[in-house]
């Protein structure tokens, strides 16, 4: 129990790292895990795990999310691209270029903050469900929107995540040992919902083990599908391509809890399948997001570029590597682009 909640969701890890904890499972990425990651560096080879940030192109994957829009910065009405500084002082010889970008923080290769997904839950124990996030942080107080939908406080000017913002991960560093699970090598690029049983078969076949504090990375081939469409993606093709985790599989969710994984990362759109498998009654639309972000404080990451790394690891009989993947240190944001680097 903490000052924010009397009840916590069954199977959750609220309060496990302190009443005011905003890192959740990221606490498991300890100095020892960083050293374990560094110990995996044998060749000194690096792999960029980011898509170009203007992929997938358009807004097919999510109608709210659009590609980055770049433009020059301006001095008065003059764009600062190839700008000759003699215009400021005739003696200057410099030529300067400077630009800016409007970007959806979760358009392409990204991290989800713990403020990305919450739920209605009776944290007060008074019989009424409130909008809450991991560790009982509250909508309208700790995560504030520009508009109120259910009576919570709002602030059109000062909206954002006052708690559980992405900057917490950036400050921690997000560097440690990661483990690759290559789903594509076993199921191809067919649309398959992978549950606990199939996942265990794949991990056993490849000799993959996950230990407490590891970041777990799933290669499905989805990023290669995106790249092959060159910014003009097909909705039908994307919705019917590549493996996804089955967020409705209770055994899979239990494995996530027991594994001690510090993050789940995939090259697909949401790590889990959307739509989720059918379930009657009130339930989360995104069950894996609910389990990880809301209950465990376990960050998710999506749309990473994993093919070159996964192929190298398989060719060299390895599954572990050093991952360095900080998000932007952008206070109040609920997600962030990333340019992750794997070192082997």
Give tens-digit pLDDT for 93-139: 999 999 999 999 999 999 999 999 999 999 999 999 999 999 999 99
Helix (H) or strand (E) holding 169: helix 167-172
Task: List 100's β-bridge partners, or say none.
Answer: 71
Residue (of 111, 100, 114) closest to 12 by Cα position: 114
* Pairing mode, strands 320-324 and 160-161: unpaired
Q: Residue 250: its pLDDT value, please?
A: 98
Q: Residue 279: its pLDDT value, please?
A: 95
Q: Residue 2: its pLDDT value, please?
A: 72
- For residue 129 the two structure tokens come to 């469900």
- CATH code for the domain defined by 24-59+106-117+161-343: 3.50.30.50
Q: Residue 1: its pLDDT value, please?
A: 63
| Coil vs helix vs strand at 172 | helix
Q: Residue 114: its pLDDT value, please?
A: 98
Q: Residue 3: its pLDDT value, please?
A: 83
Helix (H) or strand (E) holding 308: helix 307-315
Q: Residue 133: its pLDDT value, please?
A: 98
Is 314 in contact with 321 (CB distance < 8 Å)?
A: no
b or e along 96-122 (b: 16 or more beta carbons within 10 Å of the residue's beta carbon)?
eeeeeeebbbbbbbbbbbbbbbbbebe
Q: Residue 301: its pLDDT value, please?
A: 98
Q: Residue 317: its pLDDT value, please?
A: 98
Q: List, as one string, the DSSP characters of 192-231.
A: -EE-HHHHHHHHHHHT----TT-EEEEE-SHHHHHHHTTT
Which residues of the chain carry a pLDDT beneath 50? Answer: none
pTM of the model: 0.96
The rounded radius of gyration (Å) of the Cα atoms in the chain is 21
- For residue 28 the two structure tokens come to 């498991």
Length of the chain (residues): 344
pLDDT in tens, 186-231: 999 999 999 999 999 999 999 999 999 999 999 999 999 999 999 9
Domain ranges of the chain: 24-59+106-117+161-343, 69-102
């Amino acid at each position: 129990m903490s000052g924010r909640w009397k009840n916590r969701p069954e199977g959750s890890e609220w309060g496990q790292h302190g009443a005011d904890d905003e890192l959740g499972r990221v606490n498991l990425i300890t100095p020892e895990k960083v050293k374990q990651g560094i110990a995996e560096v044998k060749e000194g080879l690096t792999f960029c795990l980011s898509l170009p940030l203007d992929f997938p192109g358009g807004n097919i994957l999510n109608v709210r999310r659009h590609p980055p829009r770049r433009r020059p910065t301006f001095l008065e009405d003059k764009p600062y691209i190839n700008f000759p500084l003699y215009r400021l002082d005739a003696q200057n010889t410099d030529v300067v270029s400077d630009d800016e970008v409007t970007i959806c923080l979760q358009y392409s290769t990204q991290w989800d903050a713990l403020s990305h997904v919450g739920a209605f839950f009776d944290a007060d124990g008074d019989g009424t469900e409130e909008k809450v996030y991991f560790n009982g942080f509250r909508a309208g107080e700790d995560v504030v929107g520009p508009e109120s939908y259910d009576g919570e406080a709002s602030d059109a000017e000062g909206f954002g995540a006052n708690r559980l913002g992405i900057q917490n991960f950036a400050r921690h560093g997000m560097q440690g040992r990661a483990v690759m699970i290559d789903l594509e090598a076993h199921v191809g690029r067919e649309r398959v919902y992978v549950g606990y049983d199939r996942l265990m078969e794949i991990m056993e076949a490849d000799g993959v083990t996950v230990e407490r504090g590891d970041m777990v990375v799933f290669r499905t081939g989805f990023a290669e599908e995106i790249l092959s469409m060159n910014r003009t993606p097909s909705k039908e093709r994307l919705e019917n391509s590549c493996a996804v985790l089955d967020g409705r599989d209770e055994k899979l969710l239990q494995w996530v809890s027991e594994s001690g994984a510090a993050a789940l990362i995939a090259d697909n759109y949401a790590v889990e399948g959307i739509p989720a498998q059918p379930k009657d009654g009130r339930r989360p639309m995104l069950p894996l997001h609910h389990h990880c972000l809301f209950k465990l404080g376990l960050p998710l990451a999506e749309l990473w570029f994993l093919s070159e790394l996964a192929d190298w690891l398989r060719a060299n009989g390895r599954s572990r590597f050093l991952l360095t993947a900080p998000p932007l240190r952008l206070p109040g944001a609920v997600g962030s682009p990333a340019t992750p680097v794997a070192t082997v």
